[in-house]
Amino acid sequence: MSLRDRNRRAAMRAIQDAALDLFEERGFDAVSVEDVAAAAGASPSTVYRRFGTKERLVLHDEQDARLDAELVRALGSLDRDAPLAALGDAFVAAFEDLDPAELALQRRRGALVDAEPALAAALVAEIDHGREELAGGLRAALRRARTELECDVLARVAFAAFIAGFEAWQRAWPSGSLPRMIRRAFDAAERVTGG
């Protein structure tokens, strides 16, 4: 990672921090992107260049890369007889050993998303994009063992369990462990299907 990249990350963190402060204080709707830019000592142009949309000021997450990597890894060596369990392992692994500061940031963002329908909508749309990529990967990895429809359903169920676990963790905050909650959600998924 070059020096430029590091600078960019630092700048984005500063802007996101300023944005979260303002949103928590006044509410998402009552704060304009211009306000955020001013508070962060940047121009609106820069904010848009970095984050693209107002919603991504909240949703942007450096941690996402880790989940991607875990899922790619899981796809590489996938147990064809228990694919959901394997995907569950990947999600759990992606959220294990998280920095407490990172965990608090997750919680902070989650609280805003809960309070703001516009953020919830944007988050769901983003997640759906990741879900689609996973479905593609599963189709490739399970070409022989499963139908296209099964791969699609599998990807959906996996993300369904993940999100359910994440939200259960948020409801239980500050007690409870995120990876453990995700694990429990995957277990629940196996329990509620098939009677």
Partner DNA sequence: TTGCAGTATGACAGTCACTGTCACATCCTG
Partner DNA sequence: CAGGATGTGACAGTGACTGTCATACTGCAA
Q: Which residues bind DNA (CB under 7 A)?
A: 2-4, 7-8, 11, 31-34, 41-46, 48-50, 52-55
Least distance CB 14 / DNA (angstroms): 10
**What angle do helix axes 178-192 and 83-94 make, rounded to 10 degrees?**
160
Least distance CB 176 / a second copy (angstroms): 11
Selection from DNA, a second copy, none that 25 binds (CB < 5 to 8 A by kind) is none
Selection from DNA, a second copy, none that 44 binds (CB < 5 to 8 A by kind) is DNA
Residue with smaller CB distance to a second copy, 65 or 85: 85
Selection from DNA, a second copy, none that 2 binds (CB < 5 to 8 A by kind) is DNA
Selection from DNA, a second copy, none that 67 binds (CB < 5 to 8 A by kind) is none
Tokens for 80, please give them.
Answer: 């064809």
Binding mask 136-175 for a second copy (x = CB under 8 A): ----------xxxxx-xxx-xx-xxx-xxx-xx-------
Q: Is 184 an interacting residue with respect to a second copy (CB under 8 A)?
A: yes
> How many C-beta atoms lie closer than 10 Å to residue 147's C-beta?
11
Cα–Cα distance, 40 to 153 (Å, whole number): 43
Contacts with 31 (C-beta within 8 Å, 6 or more apart), sequence order: 19, 22, 23
Contacts with 24 (C-beta within 8 Å, 6 or more apart), sequence order: 108, 111, 112
Cis geometry, peptide bond prior to residue 174 (ω within 30 degrees of 0): yes
Cα–Cα distance, 79 to 159 (Å, whole number): 18
Least distance CB 115 / DNA (angstroms): 16
Query: CB-based burial of residue 139 (10 Å sphere; 0-12 exposed, 13-18 middle, 19+ buried)?
Result: middle
Q: Whats the size of the chain, residue-wise?
A: 195
Least distance CB 117 / DNA (angstroms): 11
- Give contact residues for a second copy (rule: CB under 8 A): 81-85, 120-122, 124-125, 128, 146-150, 152-154, 156-157, 159-161, 163-165, 167-168, 184-185, 188-195
